[in-house]
Structure 1
């Protein structure tokens, strides 16, 4: 077991290297997480992609607390995107999206907005995310922009689909905000630029 190269296992789990992941390698990843040893991020990937829903409780131990700031994003992604447990963790996602005091977890939750809104309606949170995108002082604007492009399948309609030159405001953002605001039934739109509101 100790001779297992977990980084290589993670590459195979992601489909970036050829070959299957064995049950022994998955169990090795579990043990890494139980013992909090080196290779935690690779172990989370392996467990998310090759584990089962019974691994959720182990992955949950990497969600909370300062000691998990580096790992929370990966654990949340493994639980929601890879193990498809978004329904179970939706209340947590919702809380983290709005938690401005914790940038690590807030960004992680916003990155999973597509999973959050899949077959689920939450206009209140949708409107909140539109307001984030319209607030030039909010550090999560870029993450929300990317999330909305994915949710509403807007890439083909944008000049800069990945937001590589994303700044304050442009025609792409006008379209993204318009689509999102309409979808979430947002009646009043306020754009905050510095200390000015329009």
Structure 2
């Protein structure tokens, strides 16, 4: 299991301060992948640029795909650009992978998103590992979850990983989430203004 898979499970099992949108989760999952690649020393950060190295086979299909997707030409890719590019649709990919393992034959998106309640947690090794990491307050997992306001109020809580590179990733995730929420807010305002035009006498 990887940090991204653990984060997906935590996002389902731990109450959050607000609904976790697929777009938000996708950005955080891309950050989780980058944190794992940093831990494997498959990448390093030069300021905010991702400098790839030798990426070992991890045994996890999605993390291996992340390693293969790294930009390998200077000036390389910024962490922020990685989050937006790699994060595109990433929540769907992880939902499908986790559901295929825990509930073979079901649709990950149908079970994990757009539903009124959570499915009963599967007693799987992956879910137990995620729960153990969460219970031990593993800093990277906790920091990424906090960006999603998991648990409620976590975004205002102090603390986090001590590693500068991981802190850079977490800061980029928080920045991207703020930017995405700004886009949503502008769309809501524009939609409301459009509705008002049609309601006007």
Whether these two folds match at TM > 0.5 is no
Relative to the length of structure 2, the TM-score reads: 0.26
Relative to the length of structure 1, the TM-score reads: 0.27
Rg (Cα) greater in structure: 1
